[in-house]
Chain A
Amino acid sequence: MILLPCPWCGSRDAGEFSYGGELTPRPDPRTATREQWRDYLYLRDNVAGWTTERWYHRMGCRRYLTVRRNTVTNEVTAP
C-alpha cells in the first residue's frame, strides 16, 4: 500500500487520490510558441527515480497536493 501525505487529512491510501502527473511548468499561453505549447502538452521527463508530481485527494478533502515520489520504489515524501 502506498501512503500519500495529504496536508489536510494526513497519510492516506493512494487509492483515495487521482494521479495528476508530474509537475510541468505551464508556459504563458499568450506568448508561448506552438512548439513550447506542444512540449507542455505532451512531453514528460518520465524519470526512473525521484520526481515531483501532483495528486488530487478525490475521496477526501478534494485538495490538490504536491508530493515527491520515487517511480522505481514508490517511496513517497512531502515536497
Chain B
Amino acid sequence: MTALSDRVHLRNGHARPSRYSAFALLRHGVTGESWPLAWRTHEPRHSYDVVVVGGGVHGLATAYYLARNHGITNVAVVDKSYIGSGGSGRNTAILRSNYLTPDGVRFYDRSLTLYQRLAAELNYNVMFSRRGHLTLAHNDSSLRTMRWRAEVNKACGVDSEVIGPDDIKTLVPFMDTSTQTRYPILGALYHPPGGIIRHDAVVWGYARAADAMGVHVHQDTEVTGIDVEGGRVTGVRTNRGSIATNVVVNCAAGWATLVSDLAGVRLPVQTFPLQAAVTEPVRPFLDTVVVSGTLHVYVSQTDRGELVFGASVDPFASYSTRGSLEFVEGLASHVLQLMPSLSPLRLLRQWAGLCDMTPDFAPIMGHTAVEGFLVDVGWGTYGFKAGPVAGEAMAECIATGRTPELISAFGLRRFADGTLVGEKGAAAVGH
C-alpha cells in the first residue's frame, strides 16, 4: 500500500501543470488539445508534515504559503466535500480594508495587497475588480463611526474618506438619496481600494499553485478523529484511512468546533448561517459596492451583470444552509429602499453559508493547548477577504513555531486572559 501510494505520488510529482497564457489559449484553440487538470488527485500518504483540515481559501492559502514561503511541501489539505464548498464558495466576494482598529486595518490591508497581485502570482485569473466601496450612514452615530474609521484608515495609509449624499449620487445614480425615505442617507464612508473578486477562482488558483509545488489536495476526505498523545498531535483519522502527522491546522470555518472537539480543544465559537442571493443579469450600472448596516444589506454587481445581495447572519445558531422566505422578503424591501428602480428585477437563487462567530467578532488564530493543533477559525462574516493574509500568517506560525506579530492579538488565550479584540468594524452589517 505504501509502495503504491508513493509510486502514484512520484509519477504525478513530476508532471508540471502547463502555464496559462494567451499563447496556450491559442494553441489549445487551434489544436483542440484538452487542458490538463488544474490539480491532481492522490491516494492519501501514510504521513504528512502538515495536515490542513478544510479546503477553502484559508486552508489552501495556508498550504500554498507553507510551500512557497517556507519550502514545506509534504502537506495535505483535506476537505469533507469538494474544495470551496463551504464559506469560500458562499460569500459575496467583497474585499476591503476600511476597518476600525489599527490592527484590523493593517491586517486586511495586507490581505488586499496580496489579493491585488494574486492573479499574476498564481498564474490564474481571479478577476479582481477594484470598484470602490461605500458604507452608508443613516444616522448621526454611524456617521461619527465613519469619520473615526476614515481617520484611522488614513493614519494607516489606507484610502478612505467620508462623503456626502451628492457625491454618493454621483457614484451611484440609482441610489435614492432623497430625505423622504424611512432611513435617509446622511453620508458614507468611501473606500476606493475596495472591490470584488471571483471567489471560486481564488480557491482553484490556490489549489493549482499548491498542487504544482507538491501539496496534496484530498477532496471527499472527512476527518473523523484527531489522535492526541501526551498533549501533542500524532495523527488524524479520515474516511480514507489514518494519516500520521505532528501538525494539524483547523481551517474548517462553520464546522470549526466539530473539528476542534476531535482534538479536545474547546472554542468560543457558535455557528450561524448567513444568507445571500443573486438576481438575473442586467447591463452594468453599479460600479461600487454598496453596504448599509442599518438596512442589513450589501449590494454589488458582478462582471456577468448579476446583482449579489448579502445580509447579516440569521437570528439563531444553526448548521442548516437552507434559505428562508423571511430573508428574501426583508432583503427585497431593504434593497428597494436604497434603489427603488430595481423593483422589476427577479432573484435567480438564494443560499446560505455557515459563519463561525466569536464573542468579539475577531478570528482565533495560532497555537492551542494541544501541541501541534493550530486553529485559523472564528472568521465569521469576514473570512473570505482575509484568506491570503491568514494563510500567510498561519504558514509562518507553523514553519517558525512562533506567532507572527500581525496575528498576536487573535490568540485563543485572549478569552481566558480577558483581552478581547474591539473590532466592531468587522463586518459592516449586523453590529
Partner of A71, one of B320, B326, B418: B320
Provide the residues of chain B in CB contact with A15, threshold 8 Å.
Answer: 326
Counted as pairs of residues, one from A and one from B, with CB atoms less than 8 Å apart, the total is: 52
The interface stretch among B29-37, B99-107, B311-319 is B311-319
Provide the residues of chain B in CB contact with A45, threshold 8 Å.
Answer: 257
Write the chain A residue with the least CB distance to B360: A42
Q: Are B418 and A38 closer than 8 Å at their CB atoms?
A: yes
Provide the residues of chain A in CB contact with B266, threshold 8 Å.
Answer: 39, 43
The yes or no answer to B359 lying at the interface (CB within 8 A) is yes
Chain A: minimal CB distance from B350 (Å): 15
The yes or no answer to B269 lying at the interface (CB within 8 A) is yes
The yes or no answer to A18 lying at the interface (CB within 8 A) is yes
Write the chain A residue with the least CB distance to B271: A46
Task: With a 10 A CB-CB cut-off, give which of A18, A34, A42, A72 has the most chain B CB atoms.
Answer: A42
The yes or no answer to A26 lying at the interface (CB within 8 A) is no
Please report which residues of chain B, range 8-47, place their CB below 8 angstroms from some CB of chain A when the two chains form the complex.
none
Distance, CA A39 to CA B268, complexed state (A): 8
Provide the residues of chain B in CB contact with A62, threshold 8 Å.
Answer: none
- The number of chain A residues touching the other chain, given as a range, is 20 to 34
Chain B: minimal CB distance from A5 (Å): 15
Interface size on B, residues (CB 8 A): 23
Provide the residues of chain B in CB contact with A18, threshold 8 Å.
Answer: 315
Distance, CA A71 to CA B359, complexed state (A): 19
Q: Say what secondary structure dominates the interface of chain B.
A: loop
Chain A: minimal CB distance from B294 (Å): 20
Please report which residues of chain A, range 1-28, place their CB below 8 angstroms from some CB of chain B when the two chains form the complex.
1, 14-15, 18-19, 21-22
Task: With a 10 A CB-CB cut-off, give which of B258, B269, B319, B322 has the most chain A CB atoms.
Answer: B319
The yes or no answer to B325 lying at the interface (CB within 8 A) is yes
Q: Are B415 and A42 closer than 8 Å at their CB atoms?
A: yes
The yes or no answer to B73 lying at the interface (CB within 8 A) is no
Provide the residues of chain A in CB contact with B318, threshold 8 Å.
Answer: 71-72, 74
Q: Are A38 and B320 closer than 8 Å at their CB atoms?
A: no
Please report which residues of chain A, range 44-79, place their CB below 8 angstroms from some CB of chain B when the two chains form the complex.
44-46, 48, 71-74
Distance, CA A18 to CA B324, complexed state (A): 17
Provide the residues of chain B in CB contact with A22, threshold 8 Å.
Answer: 317
Chain A: minimal CB distance from B284 (Å): 36
Partner of B317, one of A39, A42, A46: A46
Q: Are B319 and A72 closer than 8 Å at their CB atoms?
A: yes
Distance, CA A46 to CA B266, complexed state (A): 10
Provide the residues of chain A in CB contact with B4, threshold 8 Å.
Answer: none
Q: Are B315 and A1 closer than 8 Å at their CB atoms?
A: no
Distance, CA A1 to CA B415, complexed state (A): 36
Distance, CA A45 to CA B266, complexed state (A): 8
Distance, CA A31 to CA B158, complexed state (A): 48
Distance, CA A15 to CA B319, complexed state (A): 18
Given contacts A48-B258, A74-B320, contact A42 B268 (CB under 8 A): yes
Distance, CA A52 to CA B322, complexed state (A): 21
Chain B: minimal CB distance from A36 (Å): 11
Task: With a 10 A CB-CB cut-off, give which of A35, A39, A71 has the most chain B CB atoms.
Answer: A71
Given contacts A38-B416, A38-B418, contact A46 B316 (CB under 8 A): no
| Binary contact readout B259-278 vs A (1 if CB under 8 angstroms, 0 otherwise) | 00000001111110000000
The yes or no answer to B361 lying at the interface (CB within 8 A) is no
Q: Closest 4 interchain pairs by CB?
A: A42-B268, A19-B316, A46-B257, A48-B319
Selected A-B contacts with CB under 8 Å, 25 pairs: A1-B325, A15-B326, A19-B315, A19-B316, A21-B270, A22-B317, A34-B416, A38-B416, A43-B267, A44-B269, A44-B270, A46-B258, A46-B267, A46-B269, A46-B317, A48-B255, A48-B258, A48-B271, A48-B319, A71-B271, A71-B317, A71-B318, A71-B320, A72-B318, A72-B319
Residues of chain A at the chain B interface (Cβ within 8 Å):
1, 14-15, 18-19, 21-22, 34-35, 38-39, 41-46, 48, 71-74
